[in-house]
Amino acid sequence: MNILDSLLNSGDGGAVRQLGAQFGLAPEQAQSALAALVPALMAGFQNNISREGGLDSLASALAGGGHQQYIDDSATLGDPATTADGNGILGHIFGSKDVSRQVAQQASAQTGIDPGLLEQMLPVIAALAMGAMSRQSQSAGAGTSSGLASMLDQNRDGSVADDLLGLAGKLFSGR
């Protein structure tokens, strides 16, 4: 199961309902926001792990960061600590608030949702994505760096490099 599917299905859709309620969106809009933002987040994660020590750093964060709580209890998504954690995650994977703004603008073009609202959602969705990756890495025994790389290998060809290039191309081309 990919990360987006994991988020959409977590808690029988509880995360989607919580996001919708928290940000004043219908469940379909919250689902659309997730579908538009998660690929950009995954591209950021893949870019981050391609750097020296990035994969080990992500594996360590997934193993000890307590991120699974966001999947296990969707009520935690409304906690200001979740937003703070998500902002930290965004800082690691995007490195700049400008990139987050660009991601929100592109997602807005896809969804019709206000880019300012998507910017507010982005840290919460980043925390939620870390929770989904944490759960998947634990359940798949992907606690090692090689297992984590395999989890992020979206087309299952043994390399995350081509996935990174494809997602980055989509991110910056607006598709």
**pTM score:** 0.80
Spatial separation of the C-alpha atoms in residues 23 and 62, rounded to whole Å: 26
| Residue 20, both tokens | 């919708």
Q: Which of 11-20, 37-46, 123-132 has the lowest mean pLDDT?
A: 11-20
pLDDT reported for residue 128: 92
Contacts of 111 (CB under 8 A, 6+ apart): 29, 32, 33, 35, 36, 118
Segment 122-133 shows an average pLDDT of 92
Residue 14: give the domain boundaries.
3-173
Q: Structurally, how many domains does the chain consist of?
A: 1
pLDDT tens profile 90-121: 998 998 899 999 999 999 999 999 999 999 99
